[in-house]
Amino acid sequence: EAQVTQNPRYLITVTGKKLTVTCSQNMNHEYMSWYRQDPGLGLRQIYYSMNVEVTDKGDVPEGYKVSRKEKRNFPLILESPSPNQTSLYFCASSRGGLGQPQHFGDGTRLSIL
Amino acid sequence: DQQVKQNSPSLSVQEGRISILNCDYTNSMFDYFLWYKKYPAEGPTFLISISSIKDKNEDGRFTVFLNKSAKHLSLHIVPSQPGDSAVYFCAASADGSSNTGKLIFGQGTTLQVKP
């Protein structure tokens, strides 16, 4: 089954404690991206990757890091989480350019206390 | 600065009638537009898209219209069904012109279809 898998699905943690949200896709997609969803703001792109070892900033990259060492994995790293990063996060992947529909994971709800 | 705007946070329609969801954008470089649907506790799923070289794209009950001069697009659902109740996001990219990989989403519109 084609899917994008995010882990964990839920996490409550404290300010400053480094965390990583993993994202893995089994569709051999070149493009992967991270978004956060906040009330009234819709989905905002954090980082994206056009292919292995190619990453770039989206609209709200501050406080986040990513890496793309393998095609299937695109982890999101919060080095020093802060309460304003409390949000619902989605990973997505697609084949090729943005004209192709993106497949989204089911989301990770992060609460930073 | 919200480059893609969905000014109606919610919409309620009767089953069988037409649902029209609207989206406005400000960046004239956008050349590809997509609609996604999202149910609670799930990730968004792709619904329909349109390239800026077209003004209409149809897929079953779903039709997207693009008015480039007005920088406006709309999603029509006919006939609406209770299972269509979800949050709808429009999204835009300048992929063709700049290949930046950036995708800009609107705030979303919650559609409720009443039986």
pLDDT in tens, B4-63: 999 999 999 999 999 999 999 999 989 889 999 999 989 999 999 999 999 999 999 999
Structural contact between residues B4 and B104, judged by C-beta atoms closer than 8 angstroms: yes
Instruction: Write out chain A's pLDDT in tens, 113 residues.
Output: 889 999 999 999 999 999 999 999 999 999 999 999 998 899 999 999 989 999 999 989 999 999 999 999 999 999 999 999 999 999 999 887 656 788 999 999 999 99
Exposed e or buried b for every residue in A35-64, given b needs 16+ CB within 10 A? bbbeeeebbbbbbbbbeeeebeebbbbeeb
Closest-CA distance, A99 to chain B, in angstroms, reads: 6
Q: Do B103 and A102 touch (CB under 8 A)?
A: yes
> B98 touching A, CB under 8 A?
no
Closest-CA distance, A17 to chain B, in angstroms, reads: 26
* Element containing residue B74 per DSSP (H, E): strand B72-77
CA end-to-end span of chain B? 38
Structural contact between residues A39 and A87, judged by C-beta atoms closer than 8 angstroms: no
Structural contact between residues A102 and B95, judged by C-beta atoms closer than 8 angstroms: no
Please tell me which of the candidates A31, A41, A105 has its beta carbon nearest to residue B107: A41
d(Cα A99, Cα A72) in Å, to the nearest integer?
20
Q: Do B34 and A101 touch (CB under 8 A)?
A: yes
Instruction: Indicate the residue type of A47.
Output: Y
Size of interface A-B (CB pairs under 8 A): 75
d(Cα A113, Cα B8) in Å, to the nearest integer?
32
Tokens 């709200």 -> residue: A60
DSSP state at residue A89: E
